[in-house]
Amino acid sequence: MKALDLVRDAAARIGGETARLDAELIVAHAIGTSREALLLGNPGIADTAAAESLIARRAGGEPVAYILGRQEFWSLDLEVGPGVLIPRADTETLIAAALRRFPKTAALRILDLGTGSGALALAALSEWPGAEAVATDMSDTALAVAARNARRLGLAARCRFVKTDWAAGIAGRFSLILSNPPYIGETETTGPGVSEHEPHAALFAGADGLDAYRRLVPALAGLLMPDGVAILEIGWTQADAVLAMGRDAGLEGVVERDLGGRDRAVVLTQAPTDF
C-alpha cells in the first residue's frame, strides 16, 4: 500500500478540520519518516498494522501530540504525554511579550509557575543564554517530562524543577515570571478530545475559571524584582478581572493579544510608589 493512500483513508476516518494534517503526521511517525519525506516520496508500506493502531487512537479523539509523543513550541521539540498539558501556539504570546521587554543579553532570573512540559521556562532559556530558571509544578508526571525536555535540549544546568503548589516555598525575587495557569470555567466546553484526555488540573479553575489567578496574583508582588515583569496567560474574556486583581495587589498591567487578535496575556509590573 502507498503511504498517501493510507493517509487518504486515515483522514476520512479521523474527520474534522485537521484530519488530513493529522493523518500525514501519524502515518509518517508510524513508518519512521518525516511528513515532508512522506509527501515527496509516497513510500510503499508493507505492514500497516502500526499505522492503523495510531489512526484508531486519533479517530477515538486522542490528541495527535500524545500519539506522537511530542509537540513543537517556540521551535523547540518537546516531549509530551498523558498527564501533561499540550503546549499551544497561543502560549508563545508570553515569550514574544517578554522579548519586547528584555534584551537577550539580560541575565534574567526566571520563574515558571505550573511548568507542565517545561515549555515556557525552556523557551525563555533558549532566548536568554545568561538566564537561569526555577520551574514549579505539583505533578510528578509533568516534572519528569519537563526535566527530560531540559536535558535533551541542553538546558538542564540552567533550570531547577521544584515540586510545589505554585510558588509555595520559593525564595527570592525574579526578573521574569511566566505562567499558563488553568483558566477554563468548570461548566465551559473545550475542543474535541481536550477535557477527555488532558489533565483537568491544568485546564479548569473553578466556576468562573479565575481561581488560579486569585492565588497567583497576590503572591506576585513579593516575587518580582523592582523592575521585574510577570506575564500570565488568560482566557480571552478575563483581562479586566485579572488586571483588577493586579491593582489590588499593587501591580499595574497591560494586555497582550495573540496572533488572532484576542486578549491572551496580562503583563504585570510593580506599580510606582507615591512619596
In the chain, DSSP finds a helix count (H) and a strand count (E) of 11, 9
* Top-confidence residue, 122 or 17: 122
Beta strand pairing status for 132-137 and 109-113?
Answer: parallel
Residue 39 backbone class (left: φ over 0; alpha: ψ -120 to 50; beta: rest):
alpha
pLDDT, residue 46, reads 85
**What φ, ψ does residue 164 adopt, rounded to 5°?**
-160, 165
Bridge-based pairing state of the strands 76-79 and 70-73? antiparallel
Whole-prediction pTM: 0.94
Instruction: Give the C-alpha separation, 7 to 13, whole Å.
Output: 10
Split at pLDDT 50, 70, 90, the class of 271 is: confident
Q: Is residue 250 within 8 Å of residue 222, measured between CB atoms? A: no
Residue-wise pLDDT tens digits, 236-246: 999 999 999 99
Spell out the domains of the chain, with CATH numbers in brackets.
3-60 (1.10.8), 74-270 (3.40.50.150)
How far is residue 255's CA from residue 107's CA, in Å, rounded to a whole number? Answer: 25
Supply the pLDDT for residue 272. Answer: 80
pLDDT of residue 226: 95
Which three cell numbers mark 104? 537577550
Q: What is the mean pLDDT of the chain?
A: 95
Q: Which of 89, 84, 82, 31 is nearest to 57 (CA)?
A: 82
What the block records as the C-alpha cell of 271 is: 506599580
> Among residues of the chain, what percentage have pLDDT more than 90?
93
pLDDT tops 90 at residue 275: no
The whole-angstrom separation of Cα 147 and Cα 272 is: 37
- Side by side, the strands of the sheet bearing 263-270 are 159-163, 132-137, 109-113, 174-179, 224-233, 263-270, 251-257
Rounded mean pLDDT, 14-40: 95
Q: Give the mean model confidence (pLDDT) for residues 158-171.
A: 96
- What one-character DSSP code corresponds to residue 87? P
pLDDT in tens, 172-220: 999 999 999 999 999 898 888 898 999 999 999 999 999 999 999 999 9
d(C-alpha 157, C-alpha 150), whole Å: 8
Q: Summarize pLDDT for 98-157 with one digit per residue, the tens.
A: 999 999 999 999 999 999 999 999 999 999 999 999 999 999 999 999 999 999 999 999
Predicted pLDDT of residue 1: 87
pLDDT at 274: 61
Of 246, 242, 224, 225, give the one whose Cα is nearest residue 233. Answer: 242
